[in-house]
Amino acid sequence: MAGANPEERVTWPIVYQRWRALTFLHWAYDPAHVQRLLPAGLDVHTHDGVAWVGLTPFLLCDFRPPGLPAIPGLSSFPETNVRTYVVDRAGLDGLWFLSLDVSGLATVLGARAALWLPYHWAAMTVETGSTVTYRSRRRWPPTAGHNIVVEPGSPLPADEIHARDHFLTGRWRAFSSIAGRLVNVPVEHQAWPLWSVQVHQLHEDLLVAAGLPAPEGQPVAHYSPGVDVRFGPPRW
């Protein structure tokens, strides 16, 4: 279930990677707007009676299968996900990706072929320092992207991290639909170190490109310096 700690141990990982300098930006939506974008067998997982859609830019580092080293120049790259939260008919909850933008063409082709995930090839940069700047623009029409500048604050104490924060960040499987059949991929990493963050600049059109109405109001924002991740094999 969604929460601070991994739901299960990934004993036989098929992929290792590190997520660094990640910002969570979330907006509330009418569940009906999100449900129409989901495949049969998945329902919107709501919190406070609404659906939530997240925009999560970050640096993906040291992507590698077991037993092999990361490849300089190929195993680390920016990524931005547009994601929402779902539950299947067995009651398992997890992520559904509305889009995934990366700067690595090999990742786009491989993930689309293997898992039928909606990856897009984009020109992307992540610049870290006292502020973090994320820029992205898809390389072919329909173009979409973002220009985001945030200023990470300080680690949030446990009594300032609430149930909604864990609902939005602590997810331990991702769903995909392959040839009309749902699969889920388990994920394991340490509990998110969540920090406060100020959003100084936010221009994006990825949510509209995914088929959603334009988001309204300021997002719920969190920052994390990152986690080390293990993915398990897909389950049918």
Give the tokens for residue 122: 């984009």
Give the tokens for residue 18: 């590190």
CA distance 135 to 137: 7
Half-sphere exposure of residue 43, counting CA atoms within 13 Å on the CB side?
Answer: 10
User: Predicted confidence band at 107 (pLDDT cuts at 50, 70, 90)?
Assistant: confident
User: Predicted confidence band at 235 (pLDDT cuts at 50, 70, 90)?
Assistant: very high
CATH code given to domain 15-231: 2.40.400.10
Amino acid found at 148: I
For residues 70 and 63, the answer to whether their CB atoms sit within 8 Å is yes
Alpha-helix residue ranges (DSSP H) falling in 99-176: 105-115, 163-169
Going from N- to C-terminal start, the domains of the chain cover: 15-231
Q: What integer pLDDT is reported at residue 70 of this predicted model?
A: 85
Give the contacts of 8 (CB within 8 A, at least 6 positions apart).
172, 186, 188
The answer to whether residue 214 scores a pLDDT higher than 80 is: yes
CA distance 161 to 172: 18
User: Predicted confidence band at 112 (pLDDT cuts at 50, 70, 90)?
Assistant: confident
Q: What is the CA radius of gyration of the chain?
A: 17
How does pLDDT run across 177-205, given as a tens digit for each residue? Answer: 988 899 999 999 999 999 999 999 999 99
Average pLDDT over residues 41-69: 95
Among the ranges given (25-29, 47-51, 71-75, 196-200), the one the predictor scored with the smallest mean pLDDT: 71-75
The answer to whether residue 20 scores a pLDDT higher than 90 is: yes
pTM of the model: 0.96
